[in-house]
Chain A
Amino acid sequence: MSSEHSHPHITPIKIYLAVFATLIAGTWLTYWVAYKDFGWLNTPVAMAIAIVKAGVVVLYFMHVKWQSKLTMLYAAGGFVWLLTLFAFTLQDYFTRSWLPVYE
């Protein structure tokens, strides 16, 4: 328990640089795919790249990779909750058109 506090994890500079490179590459990739047309996959492709970038930031820059299981659980919990926000909001948007429209 106390070891977690007195010995904070020190990440080698190399890892930071690698993460930085990944993020820059991801940004270029986003830019590049923005000019391609994948049809309905356009948004999923852009989102997939963004998720990878966010994951790298959370794991390495925010040190979640080296934390206790409890911390990981909390970090994951935040994302699960974000998904519920999306899911329950979209159940409104996706079903609005189901209603008959009376003129």
Chain B
Amino acid sequence: MSSTVQTHAPHAHSPHEHSGVAHAAEPKTNYLTANYGWKSWVFSVDHKRIALMYLFTIAFMILVGGVFALLVRLELATPAGDLLQSENYNKIFTMHGVVMVFFFLIPGVPAVLGNFLLPIMIGAKDLAFPKINLLSYYVFLVGILLTLTAAAMGGVDTGWTFYTPYSSTYANSQVALAAVAVFITGFSSILTGLNFVVTVHKMRAPGMTWFRLPLFVWANYATGLIILLSTPVVAITIVLVALERLFHIGVFDPAYGGDPVLFQHMFWFYSHPAVYIMILPAMGVISELIAAFSKKRVFGYPVVAFSSLAIAVIGFFVWGHHMFVSGQSTYAGVVFSVITMLVAVPSAIKVFNWVSTMYKGDVLLSTPMCYAIAFLGLFTVGGLTGIFLGTMGLDIHMHDTYFVVAHFHYVMVGGMVTAFWGGLHFWWPKMFGRMYPEAIGRVAAALMFIGFNMTFFPQFILGYMGMPRRYHFYPEEWQVLNLVSTLGATLLGISYLLPMIYLPWSLKFGKVAGKNPWGAKGLEWEADSPPTTFNFDKTPIVTEEAYAYPEGARHQPEAKVV
């Protein structure tokens, strides 16, 4: 086997290396054991270690955002605003949104799974700019620290969208600090996006042509493009808000000749593409999971690859669908409404192609696949309700109601978060060399599906009946549905805590995983588990397309019993 060739030690090996089995006791080092001590982590430029630092940081932020979510749902369990005052409720849902969007949903899949896997999947030793990768992590950390400082100093009450004039003329909380935090965090994303784009262009192993790339790589490449083209705009927007406040240059404030709706244009020019920054990498994960657990090539591979690019491009021209009732011209609204219908097409293509991939495949309902299938259903509901909202006339009724809240939780939580858990389980043995416990994994996935639908489906009904978002009291007749939602949220919370317990547990007690516990295709499964520092002992040469499962491939019989 080629893995015995040690290219990183060019000097002659001592002859006793060949003396046989006795040396099996001396295990080959991997990226986790290559060196020790805190310095070997905080100054590491190894994409895999940086991915793990992101993983732990983001896991912490999920808990922080989760506490805010818990407070929101507790408050809404009763019609009266009894737990929190209005001002505090505003701050709680804002902090929930800011933390979840900027510190989990956007970086989650690319910074953790993407950082870890992208170089391995294309047969490279690392990303193109390892030091920039480390920088992106520290920039991210600074953003987090500032956000938490803003929270500790009294929080922000504008909503995660920082609309003017809440964030300018009428700002009465730590808006400036939080805006600086978001500004800084944006650069972390830009650095990651840049790294991914350059890496995919420049670092592919010999034979790894564009149409042999795994779809996860395509998705992250498309995401990198969106990040590079959109994130600077939100940064500039924040700078403009600051300039206006400091020097009274009229941009957003009518008192100086500005227009508050311009803020929404600029914000959504970033933030609608940002929703695809959240979902595209997640879709990449789903492609990998469905192929591996159906033992088939993803149906219509090139179409799925191009649909990522199509989403990246069309996603830029629909932002006005967030502004139908903002005072935006109706004519512009019609244009945005029509283009919104178009962006759903490539998303739907992906869903159809995933389902077709499963058709007549040998589908194995392991934990990651359970998450993937849950994703299909939840994302479809989320995407289709997006079409409702994109219909201008209908949105006048639904805008700023719980229908919108339900829509975006179906796509972001049902979509991105579900894919994140699925991907984390799938690649867990690769990252740490240990299997997670399968039975409880499936229980967690099932509980997630039930809890999620209980939480968010009632919100569609509430929204349709007219319950506005961002208020903490409501008429009594809506209490039953709100209670169901709060109970569901409790189940959902438990289903997310379970892996946070059993995954760390498995690091010590899990079954040791081989190179390829799933019998899956892909270069990452040819690297060791956990991989060595430079991923491969020899640069791999790629000779086949992605997912080259033989016709009628089946799972190992022992895979079925788990």
A interface with B by C-beta (< 8 Å):
1, 70, 74, 77-78, 81, 84-85, 88-89, 91-96, 98-99
Q: Is B331 an interface residue (CB 8 A)?
A: yes
Within 8 Å by CB of A1, from B202, B265, B316, lies B202
Cβ-defined contact, B233 with A95, below 8 A: no
Whether B201 contacts A95 by the Cβ 8 Å rule is no
Is there a chain A Cβ closer than 8 Å to B320's Cβ?
yes
Closest chain-A Cβ to B67's Cβ sits at a distance in Å of 37
- Which residues of chain B are within 8 angstroms of A81 by Cβ–Cβ distance? 229, 316
Contact A92 B229 (CB under 8 A): no
Q: A1-B202, A84-B317, A85-B233 are in contact. Are A92 and B332 (CB under 8 A)?
A: yes
- Per-residue interface assignment for chain B, residues 288 to 330, with 1 indicating a CB less than 8 Å from any chain A CB and 0 otherwise: 0000000000000000000000000000110110000000111
Determine the distance from Cα of A77 to Cα of B313 in the docked complex, in whole angstroms. 11
- B229, B261, B335: the one contacting A91 at CB < 8 Å is B335
Binary CB contact string for chain B from 209 to 244 against chain A (1 if under 8 A, 0 otherwise): 000000000000000000011000100000000000
* A88: chain B residues within 8 A (beta carbon): 269, 317, 319-320, 332, 335-336
B331 contacts A85, C-beta separation under 8 Å: no
Shortest 4 CB-CB contacts between residues of A and residues of B: A95-B331, A92-B332, A95-B329, A96-B329
Which of A74, A94, A98 has the most C-beta atoms of chain B within 10 angstroms of its own C-beta?
A: A74
What are the residues of chain B within 8 A of A91 when measuring CB–CB? 329, 331-332, 335
CB–CB B229/A78 < 8 A? yes
* A89 / chain B contacts, CB cutoff of 8 Å: 262, 265-266, 269
Closest residue on chain B to residue A96 by CB atoms: B329
Q: Are A92 and B328 in contact (CB under 8 A)?
A: yes
* A92-B317 in contact (CB<8A): no
20 CB contacts below 8 A, A to B, read: A70-B201, A77-B229, A81-B229, A81-B316, A84-B316, A85-B233, A85-B266, A85-B269, A88-B319, A88-B335, A89-B262, A89-B266, A91-B331, A92-B261, A92-B320, A92-B328, A94-B329, A95-B330, A96-B328, A99-B330
Cα separation A74 to B200 with both chains bound (whole Å): 14
In the bound complex, residues from chain A placing their C-beta under 8 Å from that of B331 are 91, 95, 98-99
Cα(A92)–Cα(B228), bound, Å: 25
